[in-house]
Amino acid sequence: MTFLITGGAGYIGSHVVRAMVAAGEKVVVLDDLSTGNEDRVPEGVPLVIGSVLDRLVLDQTIREHKITGVVHLAGKKQVGESVEKPLYYYHENVEGLQVLLGAVAAAGIRNFLFSSSASVYGMPDVDLVTEQTPPAPLSPYGETKLAGEWLVRAAGKAHGIATACLRYFNVAGAATPELADTGVFNLVPMVFERYDRGEGARIFGDDYPTPDGTCIRDYIHVEDLAEAHVAAARKLAEWAGAGEYKDLTVNIGRGEGVSVREMVDLLGELTGHDQAPVVTPRRPGDPAKVVASADRIAAELGWKARHDVREMIVSAWAGWQANKSLVHHER
């Protein structure tokens, strides 16, 4: 097998590449480097600089590298930006996926893994979010992920492709400092940036119907997430090898909720910062609680998260300190 990993120079993508290589798989990276960094691609792994919207590049890459499977992580993922630029997000995330699937089908590739998101669920009013929880995305970004899932499954059925859609919950941490997240879009890096300015963490609302009044989320270490991709890619290859073109949709989370206040307290403790958090009004659209049920992925792939929240914070902090010159913000 030779896997094409789109977006393989990004934060999550580089961890997936690393995990696939460590598992003995042959990989090729395609990335337009709009947010990725070529230094994250391991030595010896081919890097093709290009977009999934470019059919000529896709066809050439698939042919030259004899690609037999695809792990698709490339895409735009800033919720706020998606609200301001919905046409751009649908173009990049949905049309880009359509072009890629066209190249995959034409080449006779028989397995395809899609990077989805828990954002497809919106504001679910349940204790644990299962894969049967009705999707109701709240942003154009979440809509493009849900539409992407529909497209992946439809193309799989029509063209004999085994497919998987992995719904990520809140990703944090780093396997090594050089692979750390350099985007200030999520709670952990947002708090780190506040610390650098000598300010306390910001908590958006403390009047939710939760034990401490703050939102509850499910956090997953990026290294665990990457290992889930290895397990899913191998399962797809197994199915395709047996002529079974099934589709799989699974949550990737720990199945444990951590409140924002609990997370902020841990961040302060583990980084040595004692600034008091600042409570501000709720952000529109923030659900009180979103925690994954991780039962299906355990049953289907035998996968379970190994890292806890403390490990996520310690590794993320080491990465933050090592990569401050590369930090970028939501536009």
Per-residue pLDDT at 327 exceeds 70: no
Q: 166 pLDDT band (50/70/90 cuts)?
A: very high
User: Model confidence over 245-289: pLDDT tens digits?
Assistant: 999 999 999 999 999 999 999 999 999 998 999 999 988 778 889
Per-residue pLDDT at 230 exceeds 60: yes
pLDDT at res. 330: 47
Q: Are 288 and 208 in contact (CB under 8 A)?
A: yes
pLDDT at res. 328: 61
What secondary structure letter does DSSP report for 129?
Answer: B
Residue numbers annotated as active site:
141
What's the gap between Cα 303 and its chain centre?
Answer: 16
Which residues are CB-neighbours of 247 under 8 A, at least 6 positions away? Answer: 152, 153, 156, 157, 162, 163, 164, 165
User: Model confidence over 70-92: pLDDT tens digits?
Assistant: 999 999 998 889 999 999 999 99
What secondary structure letter does DSSP report for 270?
Answer: H
Strand, helix or coil for residue 241: helix
Q: pLDDT exceeding 70 applies to what percent of the chain?
A: 98
User: Model confidence over 124-154: pLDDT tens digits?
Assistant: 989 999 999 999 998 999 999 999 999 999 9
pLDDT at res. 169: 95
User: Model confidence over 196-212: pLDDT tens digits?
Assistant: 999 999 999 999 999 99
**What is the pLDDT averaged over residues 201-227?**
95
Q: Which domains does the chain have, with CATH numbers?
A: 2-171+218-252 (3.40.50.720), 174-217+254-329 (3.90.25.10)
Q: 104 pLDDT band (50/70/90 cuts)?
A: very high
Q: Are 91 and 147 in contact (CB under 8 A)?
A: no
